[in-house]
Amino acid sequence: MNRRKFLTILGSAGVASALGTAKVAKAAGGTHTWPYYENSYGVLHDTTRCIGCRRCEEGCNKVNNLPGPDKPFDDLSVLDKPRRMTPNAWTVVNKYELDGKPVFRKLQCFHCNDPACASACFAKCFQKQPDGSVTYDGSQCVGCRYCMVACPFYVPSFEYDDAWDPLVQKCTFCEPRLREGKLPGCVEACPMDALTFGRRSDLIKVARARIKANPDKYADYIYGEWDAGGTAWMVLVPAVPAEHSLAETGHEFRALGLDTHLGNRPMGELTAGALGAVPMIVAFWPVLFGGAYAISKRREAMHKAETETIIRDAREDMANVMDAAVRKIAETQGPGVADTARQAMADALRTREETCANRGHHGEDK
């Protein structure tokens, strides 16, 4: 493989991949069209309504045919300790304390508008679907778990104990059920409508209306409307009365384990700059180092030429001196002696040159 051929391949790979991304974006409901995710669905989780009954966990378990839980779903003592999603429990309810009162929050995949997991996956296992769900296809999963590193919500879990087909597991938004026109299992099971299913755009209006109607009850922010570039699942959080409130804004959200430092851009954009530099380096580095090589090569050639000139000059000088000396000898002592002297001098010179050459070679690098 020569250099030009390789660069062509690399270059075309870059173009092809860019085209591929654009195509996927189109297929996935228009990542780069406006308005974003026009008709996608979402769920509004109103933590002021949640009573921590674990019905959502049970509903999820049932509709997804997951293995039974460690403790039965009506055993609420599990709420005493914070839990997280596992390969067999795609959603869990946790109890938090806010202003001395218990608040419950359901944990599951947030189904980001522009998911970090999908951006991070190097085998294209994750897809943002037009219906709002972020789906995972394990059939091409390599098991690198970069999705888990990338997910700002610590959502995906991995089947570490499976040697032969370990997969990443996470909430699917009950995507197969959505296609059948059914509600997600957890939403259907919630007895309090703490989970409201609907078009994401509608849910934002619903959330705003609730905040407006009860400004003392709700913190004035819809978690997930913009966080991490926006998520399909959004959370409303109870307000803490101003006189009890800490100075820090957003502490209600942090108290419920919601990260308030994610920013409002998709996480994937954070790597876009670094990836954008790749073509620059591919294009520029060979030029830079090729140039450096040419310079060093040229310098070497110049050095060689210079040395040769000096040697030639020295030889000529030596020959002139020798001729003059021989001529002098011929004048004074006759041509016979002169020949012998010339021979002797030539021999001496050759021996000397050889010695020098040897030493020179010795000191010189190959």
Residues 194-223 that bind other proteins (CB under 8 A): 196-199, 202-203, 205-206, 209-210, 213-214, 217
| 225 class by beta-carbon count within 10 Å (0-12 exposed, 13-18 middle, 19+ buried) | middle
Q: Give the phi and the psi of residue 355 in degrees, each rounded to 5.
A: -60, -50
* Interaction of residue 234 with other proteins, rule CB under 8 A: no
Q: Which residue has the tokens 């839990």?
A: 83
Among 68, 77, 80, 100, the residue binding other proteins under the rule CB under 8 A is 68
Contact 176, 105 (CB under 8 A): no
Stretch that binds other proteins, among 127-135, 157-165, 325-333, 334-342 (CB under 8 A): 157-165
* Interaction of residue 115 with other proteins, rule CB under 8 A: no
Q: Could you tell me the smallest distance in angstroms from the CB atom of residue 97 to other proteins?
A: 15
Q: Could you tell me the smallest distance in angstroms from the CB atom of residue 317 to other proteins?
A: 30
Q: Could you tell me the smallest distance in angstroms from the CB atom of residue 35 to other proteins?
A: 19
Any idea what the Cα angle at residue 180 is, between residues 176 and 185, rounded to 5°?
60
And the tokens for 247? 């100075």
Of the candidates 262, 252, 218, the residue with the CA atom closest to the CA atom of residue 96: 252
Among 89, 107, 121, 255, the residue binding other proteins under the rule CB under 8 A is 121
Which residues are bridge partners to 96 per DSSP? 103
* Interaction of residue 80 with other proteins, rule CB under 8 A: no
Nearer to other proteins, 34 or 122 (CB): 122
* Interaction of residue 15 with other proteins, rule CB under 8 A: no
* Interaction of residue 89 with other proteins, rule CB under 8 A: no
Residue count, binding to other proteins (CB under 8 A) = 98
And the tokens for 327? 């001529």
Nearer to other proteins, 133 or 169 (CB): 169
DSSP string, 19-70: HHHHHHHHHTT-TTSSSTTTT-EEEEEETTT-----HHHHHHHHHTTPPPPS
Nearer to other proteins, 183 or 237 (CB): 183
* Interaction of residue 34 with other proteins, rule CB under 8 A: no
Q: Binding string, 135-154, against other proteins, x = CB under 8 A?
A: -----xxxxxxx-xxx-x-x
Nearer to other proteins, 15 or 314 (CB): 15
Nearer to other proteins, 256 or 267 (CB): 267
Of the candidates 274, 265, 275, 258, the residue with the CA atom closest to the CA atom of residue 113: 265
Of the candidates 66, 55, 61, the residue with the CA atom closest to the CA atom of residue 93: 55
From CA 360, how far away is CA 243, in angstroms rounded?
Answer: 89
- One-letter identity of residue 322: M
And the tokens for 249? 């804004």
* Interaction of residue 225 with other proteins, rule CB under 8 A: no
b/e per residue, 257-296, with b = 16+ CB within 10 A? ebeeebeeebbbeeeeeeeeeeeeeeeeeeeeeeeeeeee
* Interaction of residue 113 with other proteins, rule CB under 8 A: no
Query: Rule CB under 8 A: which of 272-311 touch other proteins?
Result: 273-275, 277-278, 281-282, 285-286, 289-290, 292-293, 296-297, 299-300
And the tokens for 347? 């021999």
* Interaction of residue 258 with other proteins, rule CB under 8 A: no
From CA 145, how far away is CA 224, in angstroms rounded?
Answer: 24
* Interaction of residue 257 with other proteins, rule CB under 8 A: no
Would you call the peptide bond into 35 cis, given omega within 30 degrees of 0 as the criterion?
Answer: yes
Contact 90, 67 (CB under 8 A): no
Among 156, 229, 230, 238, the residue binding other proteins under the rule CB under 8 A is 156
And the tokens for 304? 């060689």
Among 11, 18, 309, 323, the residue binding other proteins under the rule CB under 8 A is 18
Among 35, 122, 180, 248, the residue binding other proteins under the rule CB under 8 A is 122
Contact 131, 243 (CB under 8 A): no
Stretch that binds other proteins, among 83-91, 310-318, 328-336, 339-347 (CB under 8 A): 83-91
Q: Could you tell me the smallest distance in angstroms from the CB atom of residue 349 to other proteins?
A: 27
* Interaction of residue 6 with other proteins, rule CB under 8 A: yes
